[in-house]
Amino acid sequence: MSMLYSEQVMDHFAHPRNVGVIENADGIGEIGNAKCGDIMKMYLKIENNIIVDVKFKTFGCGAAVATSSMATEMIKGKSVDDALALTNKAVIEALGGLPAVKVHCSVLAEEAVKCALADYYKKQGIDHPVIKEAEEIMGHDDDHEHEIPEE
């Protein structure tokens, strides 16, 4: 099984974009747990339905950092609806692929974005389907499986 990272993964790991926190963020999402070895926390600043700023902090491996970094790049400046449509597959594609055992990192990145958006809607007092989705994500997060898909 190859553990080699693509050039894009190494670039985003070595030079992660958008690391940090946003004070008074409009939406915060945190996913993963220390036991499994990866936690992502994402902060969103949203104006007129546009994600004007995004920051993240990640505890995890090279792929966890790279997928967080790439996910923030992919939603920055985009509409909330575009961000909701972000998939882990799109993150993997943008990174030029991930080793099979690291695919779960991209899932966490997608989930971190969804949780941050759910938090945003909650704070706005808007009932949006992503809130329920985020609750489900958080619910299964404690025992989230590191499923290794077939190559």
Partner 1 sequence: MKRYVYADNAATTPVSREVVDAMMPYLTEKWGNPSSLHAKGREAAIALEDARSRIAACLGADAKEMFFTSCGSEADNWAIKGAAYAGKKKGKTHIITSAIEHHAALHACAALEKDGFTVTYLGVDDKGIVSIDELKAAITDKTALVSVMLANNEIGTIEPIAEIAKIAHEHGALMFTDAVQAIGNIPVNVKELGVDMLALSGHKIHAPKGIGALYIKKGVRIDNLIDGGGQERSKRGGTENMPYIVGLATAMESAIARLPEMAKVAELRDYLMDSLLAKVPYSTLNGPRGDARLPGNVNIGFEFIEGESMLLLLDYEGIACSTGSACSSASLDPSHVLLAIGVPHERAHGSLRLSISNETTKDDADYILEKLPPIIQRLRDMSPLYEEVSKEEK
Give whichever of 37 and 96 is closer to partner 1, judged by the CB atom.
37
CA–CA separation, 63 vs 118, rounded Å? 24
Distance CA 27, CA 122 (A): 9
Q: Tell me how far the alpha carbon of residue 83 is from its chain's centroid.
A: 10
- Binding residue (CB under 8 A) for partner 1 from 46, 65, 95, 115: 65
Q: Number of helices (H) and strands (E) in the chain: give both, helices first.
A: 6, 3
By CB under 8 A, which span of 39-47, 80-88, 117-125, 134-142 interacts with partner 1? 39-47
Q: Report residue 52 CA to chain centroid gap.
A: 16
**Whether 115 is catalytic:** no
- Tell whether residue 19 is a contact of partner 1 (CB under 8 A): yes
Give the one residue of 12, 41, 76, 144 binding partner 1; rule: CB under 8 A.
41
From the CB of 61, what's the least distance to partner 1, in Å?
3
**61 annotated active-site:** no
Least separation in angstroms between residue 125's CB and partner 1 is 27
105-124 positions binding partner 1, by CB under 8 A: none
**Shortest Cβ 36–partner 1 spacing (Å):** 7
85 binds partner 1 (CB under 8 A): no
The helix/strand/coil state of 4 is coil
Give, in order, the Cα–Cα distances in Å from 132 to each of 47, 70, 115, 119, 145: 23, 25, 10, 11, 20
Q: Please identify every residue annotated as catalytic.
A: 36, 105
